[in-house]
């Protein structure tokens, strides 16, 4: 009888240690998962800030270019700024394609398209086409709607919890 009691005591102690270890492993996995999710959310948030800032900068450079064209400033100087801003915006959109969810990617592509669509008009405006200048002005106003949509989609994704494995 004493031997049986000792065996039960040893088995209980071993089972308790095993259960404690399993719980510690589970807690460690949960901590690592939360850290990964937090890093992913931070990475997405930083990417979204870059995309949105680059899109706004691109629009601002285009509007500055439009105003400069209307004022007959040096076209070489005013042309370089929109090109650099467009390149930065394209780079930020490409980065989002690797990091962002499908809704943000779609909104970023639509914004890029809306920003890059008036390039032909910019060239015509550079040749003094007044109608092209008016069309550019309308194009640039429409970009604000697209920028608002992009911001809303990004905010929705950043705020939404991401389902993890096993959820």
Is the pTM for the entire model greater than 0.75?
no
Distance set, CA 92 to CA 24, 61, 134 (Å) = 41, 16, 29
User: What is residue 33's predicted lDDT score, i.e. its pLDDT?
Assistant: 87
Helical (H) or strand (E) element with 153: helix 130-159
- Which parts of the chain sit beneath pLDDT 70? 69-81, 120, 122-130, 132-133, 160-167
Task: Give the chain's length.
Answer: 167
Q: Measure the CA–CA gap between 142 and 101, rounded to whole angstroms.
A: 25
User: What is residue 150's predicted lDDT score, i.e. its pLDDT?
Assistant: 92
Q: Show Cβ contacts of residue 84 under 8 Å, excluding neighbours closer than 6 positions.
A: 61
Q: Show Cβ contacts of residue 137 under 8 Å, excluding neighbours closer than 6 positions.
A: 66
Q: Is residue 51 exposed (0-12), middle (13-18) or buried (19+ Cβ within 10 Å)?
A: buried
């Amino acid at each position: 009888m004493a031997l049986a009691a000792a065996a039960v005591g040893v088995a209980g102690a071993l089972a308790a240690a095993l259960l404690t270890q399993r719980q510690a492993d589970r807690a460690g996995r949960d901590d690592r998962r939360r850290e990964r999710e937090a890093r992913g959310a931070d990475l997405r948030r930083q990417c979204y800030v870059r995309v949105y800032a680059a899109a706004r900068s691109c629009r601002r450079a285009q509007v500055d270019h439009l105003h400069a064209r209307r004022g007959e400033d040096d076209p070489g100087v005013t042309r370089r700024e929109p090109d650099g801003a467009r390149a930065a915006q394209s780079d930020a959109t490409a980065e989002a394609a690797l990091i962002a969810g499908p809704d943000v990617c779609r909104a970023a592509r639509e914004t890029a398209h809306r920003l890059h669509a008036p390039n032909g008009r910019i060239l015509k405006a550079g040749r003094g086409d007044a109608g092209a200048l008016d069309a550019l002005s309308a194009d640039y106003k429409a970009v604000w709607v697209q920028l608002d949509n992009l911001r809303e989609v990004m905010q929705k994704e950043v705020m939404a919890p991401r389902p993890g494995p096993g959820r």
